Amino acid sequence: MALKADLSCPAEVIRLFDEAESQLGGLDIVVASAADIMVRPLVDCTEEDYDRIFNTNTKGVFFTLKEAAKRLSDGGRIIVVSTGGTRMFFPDQSLYLGSKGAIEQFVRCLAWELGKRNITVNAVSPGPTETDMMQDRYCDRAAAMSPFNRLGQPQDIADVAVFLASDAGRWVTGQNIGAGGGAF
């Protein structure tokens, strides 16, 4: 089942959760994975650039977490996809990395807020991964960042999320798990 929503609009997030609950019943696991990237020096970024990146990467995740916190079953799991870039130094990515740094702090705070309900809240931070966001011109350099000398595959990241969503991840909360193939 696929549901579509503009996560930068809080009303759309609420509608998404309403539809998911209608189709599935109660919710046990929520994965917030929103990303828009802009490669541009900070001094060249406009207010419109800021709004675009932060509306998707930060505002959208914030309101997803808010709804998840209200609706998730006790003992549930929340997983947020961030980026290993927040642990590294990349010029020209201040908006992207700033927006992802913010969601990492949401994770830390929300883990404490939901702990009494035994809900875990964690981030997964992928390293260079072969997705639509990876531009061809960066592939070789990005692959060389890993001791495995390859880009991560979406399944590499998904496996970490599956661990966190499973009962095996019940004692992990408020963490940012690196899934970077050794790149950071």
Query: By three-state DSSP, how is residue 183 classified?
Result: coil
Distance CA 49, CA 68 (A): 28
Residues facing 72 on adjacent strands: 27
Maximum Cα interatomic distance, the chain, rounded to a whole number of Å: 47
Residue 178 host element (H or E): strand 176-179
Residues facing 126 on adjacent strands: 179
Q: What are phi and psi of 144, to 5 degrees?
A: -70, -15
Point out the residues that are catalytic. Answer: 82, 96, 100
* Other beta carbons less than 10 A from residue 28's beta carbon: 14
The number of CA neighbours under 13 Å toward the Cβ of 184 is 18
Alpha-carbon Rg for the chain, nearest whole angstrom, is 17
The alpha carbon dihedral of 82, 84, 89, 93 has a sign of negative
